[in-house]
Structure 1
Amino acid sequence: MSLRLLIPLLAGVALAGSAHAQQLGKLKGVVELFTSQGCASCPPADAALQRLIAQGDVVALAYHVDYWNYLGWNDTMASKENTDRQYSYARTLGRSSVYTPQAVLNGRDHLNGADLGAINVKLDDLSRAGQGLVVPVSAAMKGDELEIDIAAGQGKANVVVAYFDRQQRVDVTKGDNVGQQIAYMHSVSDVETVGMWEGKPMHLTLPANVMEKAGRKGLAVLLQSSTPAGDPAAIIGATAMTLGADD
């Protein structure tokens, strides 16, 4: 894959063969939506996630969970790993259970994923409280490699890359959403930790085989702390890139 141009996502128009990265300093938070194609209350949250992506100032990711598959429709994008991530957040947030649609904000709080207004208000509140994206993170394509730069800051955090599909349309033929064709955006297919940041400026280069995981899709870079038990916690920096032309 040859990706020659780096164009800010906020510039608007997507061009074939280009990489689009969200601009440094323009992001107010990270929203991770836990959703399912078999969840009757999830389509409004999936639509809200699309609007968050269109805003251009949020890293918005969808994690399809598998625990609603028993209702009669196997979510085509669900994985045990996504379900495990949601349960990990439940432990971090002191919860005994999980639900859909759940939006986890900056790894620090959660809301109903369909309530777009409340999500934006909470992200603003977190930023004012110093719990936003306080460490600048940037990513750029250099040939077929991805270069990540992280500024100095306080504390330690994992450098996490989440690979996602830009958009998929699914015809649901069974279960609670039977008969609907639903557009899903930024559905996460894989998450991996690629480094450890310890408060100093950091530069990482990911080789071509890592980029092949993204294909013509996209990825987010999350600077995320963890609990003593190893569960995901506060996200203190992030950026996202989409690859290739819009569908």
Structure 2
Amino acid sequence: MNLLRLATAVLLLALPYGALAQENVKRPKAVVELFTSQGCNSCPPADETLSRLALAGDVVALAYHVDYWDYLGWRDTLASADNTARQQEYNRAFGNRSVYTPQAVVNGRQQMNGAKRGKVEAAIERMAGTAEGMVVDVKVSYSGDSVIIETGELPRSVDEAHVVLVYFNAASEVEITRGENRGRNFTYLNAVSGFHSAGMWHGKKARFELPMSEVAKKGAGGCAVLVQEMVSGGLPGPILGAAIVTRPPNW
């Protein structure tokens, strides 16, 4: 993992610190959400795939560490019950009978084994630039003590969608001393530390204003904005737009 650690350091040094973020809106190619666990011996290849996507910079790559493998002998240091609940909601939306790791979800639309790098990349490329890709512009800027999120519109009706803020740790080094991955060291990128809805979105241009202090406190490592459609029962569905919130100098 030495090469990955070096790449991580370069990435962190290169993070933009301009007064305005997203001034020229560029849609990411995709959003990839990985449900993973430090106690899962089949997860390291998936973790590496997600790290490569995060470092490439054109995909919003998020790692949700889950807690249901903690009984195997190692308690995941980045896991949360909320992350597990999000995976369970996705699986109900997909009609799955059970959850598993590593599971990757691309654009909220397609699931696959996250360790199958070729399948993940093929899903990204298949959806990019189509109606299943990022079709809504998301712009993030700063005004005084506020973070401003602005969205474009969608040329169709939307029954229910949320603007979701996802907070993550840019890089977390973990030494695993027990369980199936004992004796191994990993640098996990973009491990999700929390998320919440910033408001409802109805398919039209919209503006959301949030206190910078709140976003800075929760998103000290980083923050992503997802425009996500909800499906039957309020379950997570297609992700229509996304952006990474960059940090101002006083963050």
TM-score (norm 1): 0.87
Letter in 2 for 1:194: A
Tell me, in whole angstroms, the C-alpha distance in 1 between the residues paired with 2:89 and 2:48.
Answer: 25
Change beyond 3 A, Cα 1:241–1:117: farther
Partner of 1:223: 227
Are the counterparts in 2 of residues 163 and 213 from structure 1 also a CA contact under 8 Å? no
Are the counterparts in 2 of residues 163 and 220 from structure 1 also a CA contact under 8 Å? yes
Deviation at 1:56, TM superposition (A): 1.2
Residue correspondence of structure 1 range 134-153 to structure 2 within 5 A: 134-153=135-154
Gaps of 5+ in 2: 1-10
Partner of 2:120: 119
Aligned counterpart in structure 1 of residue 236 of structure 2, from 210, 232, 235: 232
The structure that is helix-richer by fraction is 2
Residue correspondence of structure 1 range 175-186 to structure 2 within 5 A: 175-186=179-190
Residues 27-83 of structure 1 deviation map (CA, whole Å, 9 limit, x = unaligned): 111000000010001111111111001121110000000010000000011111111
Q: How many residues align?
A: 235
Deviation at 1:242, TM superposition (A): 4.5
Deviation at 1:114, TM superposition (A): 2.1
Deviates more, 1:14-23 or 1:77-86: 14-23
Tell me, in whole angstroms, the C-alpha distance in 1 between the residues paired with 2:67 and 2:86.
Answer: 12
Change beyond 3 A, Cα 1:141–1:117: farther
Residue correspondence of structure 1 range 65-80 to structure 2 within 5 A: 65-80=66-81
Letter in 2 for 1:131: E
Partner of 1:4: none
Partner of 1:161: 165
Letter in 2 for 1:82: N
Aligned-residue CA RMSD in angstroms?
2.3
Letter in 1 for 2:212: A
Residue correspondence of structure 1 range 39-58 to structure 2 within 5 A: 39-58=40-59
Deviation at 1:23, TM superposition (A): 6.4
Residues 152-201 of structure 1 deviation map (CA, whole Å, 9 limit, x = unaligned): 11324111001111111011111011011110111111110011111211
* 1:206 correspondence with 2:210: yes
Tell me, in whole angstroms, the C-alpha distance in 2 between the residues paired with 1:133 and 1:166.
Answer: 23
* 1:34 correspondence with 2:35: yes
Gaps of 5+ in 1: 1-9
Change beyond 3 A, Cα 1:197–1:215: closer
